[in-house]
Amino acid sequence: MNHPSRLALALLACSMLVPVHASAAPATTAATAAPVKPLEGLKYRLVGPFRGGRATGVTGVPGDPNTFYFGSASGGLWKTTDGGMTWKPLWDKFPEASPAVGAIAVAPSNPKVVYVGTGEVNIRGNVVTGNGLYKSTDAGKTWSFAGLRDTQAIGRIIVDPKDPNRVFVAALGHPFGPNSERGLFRSTDGGKS
Protein backbone atom coordinates (compact mmCIF):
# COMPACT_ATOMS: atom_id res chain seq x y z
CA MET A 1 0.00 0.00 0.00
CA ASN A 2 1.41 3.36 -0.94
CA HIS A 3 1.44 6.49 1.18
CA PRO A 4 -1.66 8.24 -0.29
CA SER A 5 -3.73 5.07 0.26
CA ARG A 6 -2.78 4.94 3.92
CA LEU A 7 -3.86 8.56 4.34
CA ALA A 8 -7.20 7.88 2.66
CA LEU A 9 -7.78 4.84 4.86
CA ALA A 10 -6.97 6.84 8.04
CA LEU A 11 -9.33 9.65 7.02
CA LEU A 12 -12.10 7.13 6.30
CA ALA A 13 -11.63 5.54 9.74
CA CYS A 14 -11.74 8.93 11.47
CA SER A 15 -14.85 10.01 9.59
CA MET A 16 -16.64 6.87 10.72
CA LEU A 17 -15.83 7.54 14.39
CA VAL A 18 -17.20 11.08 14.48
CA PRO A 19 -20.86 10.18 13.81
CA VAL A 20 -20.67 7.31 16.31
CA HIS A 21 -19.30 9.65 18.98
CA ALA A 22 -21.95 12.32 18.27
CA SER A 23 -24.81 9.86 18.39
CA ALA A 24 -23.55 8.34 21.64
CA ALA A 25 -23.91 11.64 23.52
CA PRO A 26 -27.32 12.12 25.14
CA ALA A 27 -29.46 14.84 23.62
CA THR A 28 -29.97 17.88 25.83
CA THR A 29 -33.46 19.34 25.81
CA ALA A 30 -35.02 22.15 27.74
CA ALA A 31 -36.58 19.59 30.06
CA THR A 32 -33.30 17.83 30.85
CA ALA A 33 -30.98 20.86 30.91
CA ALA A 34 -29.79 22.04 34.30
CA PRO A 35 -31.61 25.23 35.32
CA VAL A 36 -29.35 28.23 34.79
CA LYS A 37 -31.65 30.91 36.21
CA PRO A 38 -30.12 32.17 39.45
CA LEU A 39 -31.31 35.74 38.81
CA GLU A 40 -34.77 34.87 37.48
CA GLY A 41 -36.49 36.15 40.61
CA LEU A 42 -34.94 39.60 40.26
CA LYS A 43 -36.98 42.14 38.33
CA TYR A 44 -36.10 45.67 37.30
CA ARG A 45 -38.29 48.25 38.94
CA LEU A 46 -38.30 52.00 39.18
CA VAL A 47 -37.58 53.17 42.70
CA GLY A 48 -37.71 56.84 41.72
CA PRO A 49 -37.53 59.67 41.42
CA PHE A 50 -39.00 59.51 37.93
CA ARG A 51 -37.37 61.82 35.40
CA GLY A 52 -35.53 63.72 38.06
CA GLY A 53 -32.48 64.40 35.92
CA ARG A 54 -28.84 64.14 36.94
CA ALA A 55 -28.29 63.65 40.66
CA THR A 56 -26.70 66.81 41.99
CA GLY A 57 -27.39 66.61 45.71
CA VAL A 58 -28.16 63.85 48.18
CA THR A 59 -28.05 63.58 51.94
CA GLY A 60 -29.31 61.34 54.68
CA VAL A 61 -30.73 62.12 58.07
CA PRO A 62 -28.44 61.40 61.04
CA GLY A 63 -29.88 58.58 63.14
CA ASP A 64 -32.49 57.61 60.53
CA PRO A 65 -31.13 55.15 57.94
CA ASN A 66 -34.35 55.22 55.88
CA THR A 67 -34.72 58.96 55.26
CA PHE A 68 -32.90 60.66 52.40
CA TYR A 69 -33.25 63.85 50.39
CA PHE A 70 -32.37 63.86 46.69
CA GLY A 71 -31.95 66.85 44.40
CA SER A 72 -31.49 66.84 40.66
CA ALA A 73 -30.21 69.13 37.94
CA SER A 74 -33.69 70.10 36.79
CA GLY A 75 -36.22 67.83 38.51
CA GLY A 76 -36.55 69.42 41.91
CA LEU A 77 -36.24 68.04 45.41
CA TRP A 78 -37.38 64.58 46.55
CA LYS A 79 -37.60 62.72 49.87
CA THR A 80 -37.85 59.08 50.90
CA THR A 81 -38.67 57.82 54.37
CA ASP A 82 -38.64 54.10 53.51
CA GLY A 83 -35.07 53.60 52.34
CA GLY A 84 -35.77 54.45 48.70
CA MET A 85 -38.81 52.25 48.09
CA THR A 86 -40.91 55.34 47.37
CA TRP A 87 -40.04 58.99 46.76
CA LYS A 88 -42.14 62.09 47.31
CA PRO A 89 -41.55 65.33 45.39
CA LEU A 90 -41.18 68.21 47.82
CA TRP A 91 -41.17 71.18 45.47
CA ASP A 92 -44.10 70.42 43.19
CA LYS A 93 -46.25 72.76 45.28
CA PHE A 94 -43.44 75.26 45.83
CA PRO A 95 -42.87 76.97 42.46
CA GLU A 96 -40.79 79.79 43.96
CA ALA A 97 -37.73 77.55 44.16
CA SER A 98 -35.63 76.69 41.14
CA PRO A 99 -36.02 73.07 39.96
CA ALA A 100 -32.22 72.79 39.94
CA VAL A 101 -30.75 71.60 43.23
CA GLY A 102 -27.04 72.01 43.88
CA ALA A 103 -26.68 71.02 47.53
CA ILE A 104 -28.70 69.69 50.46
CA ALA A 105 -27.87 69.65 54.18
CA VAL A 106 -29.74 68.38 57.22
CA ALA A 107 -28.88 69.93 60.58
CA PRO A 108 -27.22 67.22 62.71
CA SER A 109 -28.66 68.68 65.93
CA ASN A 110 -32.21 68.98 64.56
CA PRO A 111 -33.13 66.75 61.58
CA LYS A 112 -36.26 68.81 60.92
CA VAL A 113 -34.04 71.67 59.72
CA VAL A 114 -33.09 71.19 56.08
CA TYR A 115 -31.22 73.62 53.82
CA VAL A 116 -31.28 73.39 50.02
CA GLY A 117 -29.06 75.40 47.70
CA THR A 118 -30.43 75.85 44.21
CA GLY A 119 -28.66 75.92 40.87
CA GLU A 120 -26.86 73.22 38.97
CA VAL A 121 -23.19 73.10 39.89
CA ASN A 122 -22.10 70.81 37.04
CA ILE A 123 -21.34 73.73 34.76
CA ARG A 124 -21.90 72.99 31.07
CA GLY A 125 -23.50 74.70 28.11
CA ASN A 126 -27.08 74.25 29.24
CA VAL A 127 -27.27 74.57 33.02
CA VAL A 128 -30.38 75.38 35.02
CA THR A 129 -29.56 78.26 37.32
CA GLY A 130 -30.84 78.62 40.84
CA ASN A 131 -32.37 81.39 42.86
CA GLY A 132 -30.79 81.07 46.27
CA LEU A 133 -30.91 79.14 49.50
CA TYR A 134 -34.07 77.65 51.00
CA LYS A 135 -34.79 76.36 54.48
CA SER A 136 -37.35 74.03 56.00
CA THR A 137 -37.95 73.70 59.74
CA ASP A 138 -40.46 70.85 59.44
CA ALA A 139 -38.46 68.20 57.53
CA GLY A 140 -39.48 69.44 54.09
CA LYS A 141 -43.21 70.09 54.46
CA THR A 142 -42.83 73.85 54.04
CA TRP A 143 -40.01 76.04 52.76
CA SER A 144 -38.87 79.63 53.12
CA PHE A 145 -36.31 81.69 51.25
CA ALA A 146 -33.03 82.02 53.18
CA GLY A 147 -30.97 84.36 51.01
CA LEU A 148 -28.36 84.51 48.24
CA ARG A 149 -30.93 85.07 45.49
CA ASP A 150 -28.38 86.04 42.82
CA THR A 151 -25.97 83.17 43.46
CA GLN A 152 -27.34 80.96 40.65
CA ALA A 153 -25.30 77.92 41.77
CA ILE A 154 -24.73 76.62 45.31
CA GLY A 155 -22.35 73.70 45.50
CA ARG A 156 -22.09 72.87 49.20
CA ILE A 157 -23.86 73.54 52.48
CA ILE A 158 -22.51 72.69 55.92
CA VAL A 159 -24.59 73.11 59.08
CA ASP A 160 -22.91 73.48 62.46
CA PRO A 161 -23.34 70.14 64.31
CA LYS A 162 -24.49 71.96 67.48
CA ASP A 163 -26.41 74.95 66.08
CA PRO A 164 -28.91 74.50 63.20
CA ASN A 165 -28.92 78.26 62.59
CA ARG A 166 -25.20 78.46 61.89
CA VAL A 167 -24.73 77.48 58.27
CA PHE A 168 -21.94 77.79 55.70
CA VAL A 169 -22.69 77.99 51.98
CA ALA A 170 -20.25 77.58 49.09
CA ALA A 171 -21.67 79.63 46.23
CA LEU A 172 -20.27 79.23 42.74
CA GLY A 173 -22.05 82.32 41.45
CA HIS A 174 -23.03 82.96 37.87
CA PRO A 175 -21.82 80.10 35.66
CA PHE A 176 -20.60 82.33 32.84
CA GLY A 177 -19.70 85.64 34.43
CA PRO A 178 -18.74 87.49 37.60
CA ASN A 179 -21.16 88.50 40.33
CA SER A 180 -21.00 89.58 43.95
CA GLU A 181 -22.67 86.48 45.40
CA ARG A 182 -19.76 84.15 44.74
CA GLY A 183 -17.62 82.62 47.47
CA LEU A 184 -18.08 81.26 50.97
CA PHE A 185 -20.94 82.69 53.03
CA ARG A 186 -21.85 82.24 56.69
CA SER A 187 -25.12 82.83 58.47
CA THR A 188 -25.54 82.65 62.23
CA ASP A 189 -29.30 83.18 62.21
CA GLY A 190 -30.54 80.43 59.91
CA GLY A 191 -30.25 82.44 56.71
CA LYS A 192 -31.98 85.63 57.83
CA SER A 193 -28.71 87.51 57.24
* Domain-located, residue 44: no
* Domain-located, residue 2: no
Give the pLDDT confidence of 95-148 residue by residue, as tens digits. Answer: 888 889 999 999 999 999 999 999 988 877 778 889 999 999 999 999 999 999
* Domain-located, residue 7: no
* Domain-located, residue 125: yes
* Domain-located, residue 9: no
Answer whether 0.75 is exceeded by the pTM. Answer: no
* Domain-located, residue 111: yes
56 near 71, Cβ under 8 Å? Answer: yes
* Domain-located, residue 106: yes
- Give the domain CATH number at 96: 2.130.10.10
Structural domain containing residue 63: 55-187
Number of domains in the chain: 1
Give the pLDDT confidence of 168-187 residue by residue, as tens digits. Answer: 999 998 888 888 889 999 99
